[in-house]
Amino acid sequence: MKVSVSFLSSSNIPEDLKKLNETDVDYIHMDIMDGKFVLAKTMPFREMRNIYKYTNKRLDVHLMVEDPKKYIPLYAELNTEYITFHVEVMDRIEENLELIKSYGIKCGLAIKPNTPVKALVPYLPLLDLVLVMSVEPGKGGQQFISSTEDKIKEVRALLDSYHSNAVISVDGGINEETKAMCYECDILTSGSYIINSKSFQKRIDSLR
């Protein structure tokens, strides 16, 4: 199991990124929020771009924004493995997926807890990743929604039926207990469970 760590709950981002850089975590998960798609808003790119000063880990960028096209070229400049935005944006989805691919970066779609899995179907041929939200996006430290287990299975069945090689990531309330409900996924994205702990590596190991 691969692990991606979100620093959304961090109270000292530079220090926590340095500590994460000393672990064997697979990705750093960057939550980007515009205050429109979700109520919260993260730091502007001029600050986010400084992440390279603290970590050389590959980035897993999650755009919780109304206009992905505005952000894709910016985060494509960084050490980025995946750029994911929400299927609920409902506008120019294919165009934005193609834009991500044009930078040689893997593209993904995120899906909220109440959004039907079938919303992904038109875009499956383009996807490298499906991000299943196991909480409502926009805030760290939430509890895992138990029905996510069935949703992950549904996404896996959908990918298999379309012979898709896209990986499944799950984000929200991930810890040593809830990981058991995510056995069908490929990447566990965890934030406060790791960031608020004394040993990042031990918590990362507990999710593998």
Looking at 16, 31, 60, 128, which residue is catalytic? 31
CA 208 – CA 206 distance, rounded (Å): 6
CA 125 – CA 143 distance, rounded (Å): 32
Pairing of strands 2-6, 167-171: unpaired
Looking at 16, 26, 60, 171, which residue is catalytic? 171
Catalytic (active site) residue 34:
no
CA 92 – CA 74 distance, rounded (Å): 18
DSSP 3-state assignment of 52?
helix
Amino acid occupying residue 162: Y
User: What single DSSP character describes residue 41?
Assistant: B
Phi, psi of 170 (to 5 degrees): -125, 135
Question: Residue 197: which of 25, 2, 1 has the closest Cα?
Answer: 25
Catalytic (active site) residue 31:
yes
Residues forming the active site: 31, 171
